[in-house]
A and B are shown apart, each in its own frame.
Chain A
Amino acid sequence: MRARRVPIARLAAVLGTALLLAGCGRGGSGSQQRLTVTGSTTVLPIAEVAAEEFQTAHPGKRVLVAGVGSSAGIESVSNGTSDIGTSSRDLKPEEESLGLVDTPIALDAVAVIVNPSNPVDGLTKTQVAEVFEGKITNWNQVGGPDLEIGLVNRDEASGTREAFSKIVLGGKGFDPTAAVLPGTGQVRSVVAQAASGVGYISLGFVDSSVKALSIDGIPANEQTVADGTYPISRLLHFFTKGEPTGLTKEYVDFVLSPQVQDEVVRDAGFLPIPKDAK
């Protein structure tokens, strides 16, 4: 679903954006107002659907969205190539001097799921990492029954895998003997059917067929994600050069409106930004 684009596509997207902007600049003020949003492919489903709805609601205003990766998005907003840079990560120390203003637009939380019959209710983040690295191979090593752990992994195109790998494994490799499944739905149904199964999916897609483990004693639910205590979560950001103004502000406000937060964001498997937080 949240597929990573190939570098050639990135290059094409960047070039395309640049050309469009150049064209816009030279072609003069034009009758249309354009806004360029580039960056994270994880944010792409939100930014894109929101852009379509925004254009429907405001005829004559165009929002161009491209998924080129978080770093490229931050780079392009800081050098003025695009109006909004989207990112699935925080600014790095060397990027903090660029004068970018952060507007969190959604929460991306990953739940570790097991079969409902599994007596294990929670693990520490370290234990989760060891399970997925293949160091812990039996449920009895973490207080469960004597049952070999059935690891379920996602394919490398998955944004969920990327988030999970970064937050939990910290760059260490997954156990290569784990089953690799191509979709959230498959991971969920396989874990729902196999007593030994363990996998990870976006918190927004957890349902009653599986059990989401608490991590470091903190249950996985919207409250703990919203108040920032659930460890396997990250913010999705819009970065702008200075406070958003004009069309940029209109679009950012639209993305933060209940219409997008409760529909588009949830449909994409993310959680809305809590109203009081910013």
Chain B
Amino acid sequence: MDTTRDGTRMKDPAPEMCSDESALAPEPPRTRAGRGLVKVSRATYLKEAALRNLFLLCACVAVAGVGLIFLFVGLKGWPIFGKVGIWQFLAGPKWYPTAGYFGILILIVNSLLAMIGALALGGPLAVGTAVFLSEVASPRVREIVRPAVELLAGIPSVVYGFFGLVLLRPIVADLFGGLGFGLFTVWLILAVMIVPTIAALTEDALRSVPEGIREASYAMGATKWQTIWRVLLPAAKIGIIDAIILGMGRAIGETMAVVMIAGNAPVIPDGFFKPFLTLTTVIVMNMPYASGDHRTALFGVAIVLFIVSMLFVAAIRLISRLGKEMS
């Protein structure tokens, strides 16, 4: 399973770093047995060491990117917490920044509402797709369905938004009245958008369940359905939870598609077909003209988003670790 590999890799970096320093020493370190570097020529050894450092550099750039963004967003947004107070900022009920109201509670609630609905619709769809791909489909069907699902992930989110705005929204407006902006429309689009993320990881998790377990289940007279429901899904549980958390991250962070179909009213909608504004869309809508405290508040919103996604990553790591300890 992916997560297991990640887990073991996580414990490695410390000794790896030491080896990079010693790599520059004249005598190849004898402790690094098993790499076969001891016996090769100096030129080959240097090339290997250079490559290792190159990859280390790549990793450092990624880490530095995250660090710099966090630092920048943090520095830009921090003053708003001092200005209005962390609690008033997070729990203030009114977002009307040009009039001096900087409460993002409604934005948080709206983002959660959008995410929960998308997950309720898209989660089962994605897990079902994964079960179909992994357990039910014949190889030929699988070769058609899987690229189609992967293609969903490749569609730019602005295209989803445009599709939602121009095609889906008028249909929703005709069927349910109103303008067609609102939670319902956003749920439909987000549900489709998170399917590839959840489906791919769930399929991996199902495939990593050893074949022997399936055979044992069939040998005991279980039907295909019973095998899937009672044996495979529980066995792949940890991987599926990881997949769903990643899907949550995708749903709550999605911006371009949502901004086009949410309607962007800074209130908690009193229905499924009423406009609403979220944490991500407020930044897109307000950034072009925001200034002063308003701009700082938008960076404050970005800090909240950053922390939310860190929580998701932390949750995945924690669950994977728990899963490994259990097995």
Name A residues whose Cβ lies closer than 8 Å to a Cβ of B.
Answer: 3-4, 6-8, 147-148, 150, 152, 155-157, 176-182, 186, 190, 193-194, 196-197
B181 interface neighbour in A6, A7, A179, Cβ under 8 Å: A179
Q: How far is the CA of A193 from the CA of B180 in the complex (A)?
A: 10
Is A156 within 8 A of B177, CB to CB?
Answer: no
B179 lies within 8 A of A196 (CB): yes
Taken together as a complex, chains A and B put the C-alpha atoms of A201 and B180 apart, in Å, by 20
Interchain CB contact under 8 A, A156 and B275: no
Q: A155-B285, A157-B289 are in contact. Are A194 and B180 (CB under 8 A)?
A: yes
B256 within 8 A of A: no
Tell me the total A-B contact number using a CB cutoff of 8 A.
Answer: 72
Main secondary structure of the interface of B (DSSP, over half): loop
Indicate whether A179 sits within 8 Å of B288 (C-beta atoms), given known contacts A152-B179, A197-B179.
no
Q: Is there an interface contact between A150 and B267, defined as CB atoms closer than 8 Å?
A: no
Cβ A156 vs Cβ B289 within 8 A: yes
Q: Which residues of A contact B286 (CB under 8 A)?
A: 155-156
In the complex, what residue of chain A is closest to B289 when comparing beta carbons? A157
Q: Which residues of B contact A150 (CB under 8 A)?
A: 173, 178-179
Which residue on chain A has the smallest CB distance to residue B178? Answer: A150
B96 near A: Cβ within 8 Å?
Answer: yes
Contact across chains for A196 and B275 when beta carbons are under 8 A apart? no
A8 contacts B291, C-beta separation under 8 Å? yes
- Whether the Cβ atoms of A193 and B265 lie closer than 8 Å is no
Distance between Cα atoms of A179 and B181 in the complex (Å): 8
From B270, which residue of chain A is reached at the shortest CB distance? Answer: A177
Chain B residue numbers with a CB within 8 Å of A197 are 179
Q: Which residues of B contact A186 (CB under 8 A)?
A: 165
Most-contacted residue by chain A among B170, B177, B263, B290 (CB, 10 A) = B263
Q: Which of B170, B173, B275 has the most CB of A within 10 A?
A: B275
Chain B residue at minimal CB-CB distance from A152: B179
Nearest Cβ on chain B to A9's Cβ, whole angstroms? 8
Shortest CB-to-CB span from A158 to chain B, Å, is 9
Per-position 1/0 for B283-296, Cβ under 8 A of A: 00110111110010
Query: For A180, what are the chain B residues with a Cβ–Cβ distance below 8 Å?
Result: 263-266, 275, 277, 285
